[in-house]
Amino acid sequence: MGPGLWSRIPACLSAVASSDTGRPEATPAPRTTRSDHAGHCHCHCHCHGHGHGLWYGALVRRFLLIPVLIGLAGCGYHLVGTASYLPEDLRTLHVELFENRTARADMDQRIAEALNLEWVRRGRFDLVDRPDEADIVLSGTMSRLAVIAVSFDDRGRATEYQMTLSTDVRLHDVRGEEPVLLWQDKAFSRRTSYAVDEDAVDYFDRQRAAMDDLSEEYSRALVSAVLEGF
């Protein structure tokens, strides 16, 4: 941190201390008692303790602020949603087809397509077709795709369903002789809801559309989690 920032710290600390309470410090009014002497002593003790507490609190806050200023000056800061813990020298990514343990045989293909499109949209890595060409490899296991009815009409027929995908996802650095685990979430899941016709004539069409919606939402959330380390 340069001398310029050090010279600005006292001014910053003064501003923070003056804004701690949001209003000017008030002088407590003396209390009325039967004895002037007793009232004087009570008022003096009260004022002294109150002033000491404010002074001590402001001093503590000033000391706590100094490391924050040093950290901001030394390494900068990032807005939520933009920071990345991944090393900058990682350039290429391969997305493996997730192992599919669900009852839907095509769900892995939907997820793979949505994930690749989301990575391309983010532009952080160059996607490659083979793991031996990649710096990092994203892999996962789809453990469960659950569909349950959540709303019903007055005749007991389902009018809305909720679809939930549960996965175990891993990101490995594969540049060395042995893969190095960079990130993992053993219970990464997303869900979506969809309505169906009361006569269920479009049930399967709506379910397939919901699978596409879920794949897109899952991919957006997963890529954000990997990039931001959440």
H or E element: which one contains 220?
A: helix 203-228
**Per-domain residue ranges of the chain:** 3-75, 92-228
End-to-end alpha carbon distance in the chain? 29
Is residue 85 very low, low, confident or very high in pLDDT (cuts 50, 70, 90)? low
- CATH 1.20.120.330 assigned to 92-228: no
Q: Which of these, 188, 183, 158, lies nearest to 171 by C-alpha position?
A: 183
Highest mean pLDDT among 18-32, 55-69, 80-94, 129-143: 129-143
CA 112 to chain centre: 23
Neighbours of 136 (CB within 10 A): 24
Per-residue pLDDT at 11 = 52
Instruction: Enter the tokens of residue 205.
Output: 């069409």
Q: What is the pLDDT of residues 189-224, one digit of tens each?
A: 999 999 987 666 678 889 999 999 999 999 999 999
* From 56-65, 108-117, 162-171, 179-188, the region with the lowest mean pLDDT: 56-65
Highest mean pLDDT among 2-11, 55-64, 128-137: 128-137
Instruction: Enter the tokens of residue 29.
Output: 């009014």
Per-residue pLDDT at 68 = 47
The DSSP code for 43 is: H
